[in-house]
Structure 1
Amino acid sequence: MIFAKELNETLRTCLTADPRVLVLGEDIADPYGGAFKVTRGLSTAFPDRVRTMPISEGAIAGISAGLALAGYRPIAEIMFGDFLTLVFDQVVNHIAKYQAMYAGQATCPVIVRAPSGGHRGYGPTHSQSLEKHFLGVPHLRVVAASLVHDPRAVFEELLAQDSPVLYVEHKLLYPQHLTVPENGRSGDLLAAQDASPGMLPTVCLSAVPREECAVTVLAYGYQAMLAAKVVERLAVEEEIFVELLVPAQLAPMDWAPVERSVGVTGRLVTVEEGSGGWSWGTEAAATISRRLFRELRSPVDVVASEPTVIPSSRTKESRILVGEGQIEAALRAAAA
């Protein structure tokens, strides 16, 4: 099943299994069913619990916070991830703080869904990957959708805990088919899951066993899918073997799977679509450099998009956002 439909079925399962679950957002009701049709059919099946909201992201976040404090489990959709800037105050100063402020006597388990990313020519304010601005916020989990993580399993885990969550979904994942690991493989690549207790799994993909890999590449979301294509192509065409790690959870980050891989390969490349500088990749570079200084054979390379406005022109956009070309060049350089 393609990712958008699987995510729709995931939300349907959540609504069916738990009467406390609510879905809120702009234009999510039928017949429109959301900007990317992820909620299509849900308001018809659950008219009292799937509600279209006014065009106010602050109101969506604030109402979700109140509902969560009252015992509900709201899942709030922000139509475009760019508009996360409008919920920053509610998320950082309220939703993420309540449980710690009140010593666990109050919880605010809001899940905020945000379609993000570019490569569709949507221009400067509808193409960004802004999740790096939420990384490191105490008590907030940041989770990234991918084609190798089953959204049903992810949401089951998220709803079982009381932590608020930002769940980012790259828009280019929606029409693609899931390749969740099965029988030790994901597509044509070897696959395994690695996770520390209480953390969402990191999926490890490679063409050969880890011991034969020369580089570790760490990527999430749509960029992980681009990296998988590069990993497979380099292995088949030139016998350059790379292990790809795809974490579901970006913050707090589970560093143990990364340490286990880099401890063998000695080299790390990180990939993200967000703009370069002060990013997830730089945090990974700092952490792994500190923890595995003696094992590293070269500095950690951080691949990210250009720190500038994303243009509407598809040609210019492709030069600014990370694509397969930049990923392949970084992996070749690391393996040399």
Structure 2
Amino acid sequence: MKPQERLLVHHINRALTRIMGEDERVLMIGEDLLDPYGGAFKVTKGLSTQFPQRVHTTPISEAAIVGVATGAALRGMRPVCEIMFGDFLGLAFDQILNHATKYPLMYAQEVGCPITIRTPMGGRRGYGPTHSQSLEKFFVGIPGLEVTALHRFQPVEAFYRRAILQRDQPSLIIENKIMYGQEPLDTVARYGDFQVRRHGQDVVDAELSLTDFAHEEVTLITYGGMTDHCLEAARRLLLDEEIASNVLVLGRLSPVQLEATAAACARTGRVLIAEEGTGAWGIGSEWAAQLTDALWGKLKAPIQRVACTAPVLPNSRALEEQVLPSTDTIIQAVQTLMSRT
């Protein structure tokens, strides 16, 4: 493998290529997918050349993309939609909420709708208010929709294969933009000084610890683009303040599966949840509520959350960094958490 082909974006591309090569029912639908462009982030580059009859570029209409894919799924195909920026998912909300997810539920799961929607989310690239948001909180909890978030410790091909070929219900896959340019860590047992262990099979929650999962005092829960910030916060907390923590990187956001997460949190009794989207009615809210129910009596302090502090993300990279949660804000929140014990 060439060095320039080791990035996560190339691993996703290879996974999609293999899946399309194995099953003629798999279609790609989205804007500007055809070569030589290959999508805004080049995830689908080369697919239209290899599978010219099964990669369909569309007008600028996210509702049409998801609507056409839903119809194709009901006819036995396995379409994969690319929404160029996650911010545009709002334009397809009706198709997801009232159509794709409803059909299996209305017919007692006897009618499948195996549609996969994948889209990049997140900021820190200076793309401005309508191309930098993390909007997954508006989709978690929709009945019949599974929402997952790719991360670097996740086996990439198994992750996409499950969503595209092995599920008969709609899936929404969140891909953080920053991770496209990073190398996968799907096979490592250690990442720097962190020990890594994985929970689950095709959708993995990754748990990392600097102390071999012993003597930890706080659990940091996160996903997607906040992973590196939580890991750096855990490192600094141990070196500077002798506070040991474990970091849990979620693969599945919804429906919530508590077993591995609750076990990690029960060991410490203190929990901090970090998300890049806005905090009100967010991912962290639901996870905090369910963990509180599951761990009542074992928590040593109320669960803390950190999230984006601005309702609109600025274009300026410097201002963007001020409002998005950072390593420093995570550390400050942990200090507050420890003081409330």
Identity of aligned residues (%): 41
Residue 21 (structure 1) aligned to one of 21, 26, 34: 26
C-alpha contact 1:7 1:151 (8 A) present in aligned 2: yes
Structure 2 counterparts to residues 1-336 of structure 1, below 5 A: 1-158=6-163, 159-182=165-188, 184-195=189-200, 200-336=203-339
Equivalent residue letter for 2:34: A
Distance in 1 (alpha carbons) for counterparts of 2:137 and 2:190: 30
Equivalent residue letter for 2:62: E
Q: Aligned to 2:233, what secondary structure does the other structure show?
A: helix
C-alpha contact 2:34 2:57 (8 A) present in aligned 1: yes
Distance in 2 (alpha carbons) for counterparts of 1:60 and 1:144: 21
Structure 1 length as normaliser, TM-score? 0.95
CA offsets per residue over residues 51-99 of structure 1, 9 Å max, x none? Answer: 2111111110000000100111111000000000000000011101111
Distance in 2 (alpha carbons) for counterparts of 1:4 and 1:101: 36
Q: Aligned to 2:208, what secondary structure does the other structure show?
A: strand
C-alpha contact 2:222 2:249 (8 A) present in aligned 1: yes
Q: 1:104 deviation in Å?
A: 2.1
Paired positions, count: 333
Equivalent residue letter for 2:51: F
Equivalent residue letter for 1:91: I
Structure 2 length as normaliser, TM-score? 0.94
Equivalent residue letter for 1:137: I
Structure 1 stretches of 4+ with a deviation exceeding 6 A read none
Q: 1:307 deviation in Å?
A: 4.2
Q: 1:329 deviation in Å?
A: 1.7
Equivalent residue letter for 2:172: L
C-alpha contact 2:120 2:177 (8 A) present in aligned 1: yes
Q: 1:306 deviation in Å?
A: 1.4
**Unpaired segments of 5 or more residues in structure 1?**
none
Q: 1:181 deviation in Å?
A: 4.2
Q: 1:262 deviation in Å?
A: 1.3
Distance in 2 (alpha carbons) for counterparts of 1:123 and 1:155: 29
Distance in 2 (alpha carbons) for counterparts of 1:237 and 1:288: 29
Q: 1:334 deviation in Å?
A: 2.7
Q: 1:40 deviation in Å?
A: 0.9
CA offsets per residue over residues 277-325 of structure 1, 9 Å max, x none? Answer: 0011011111111221211011000111014111111121111111222
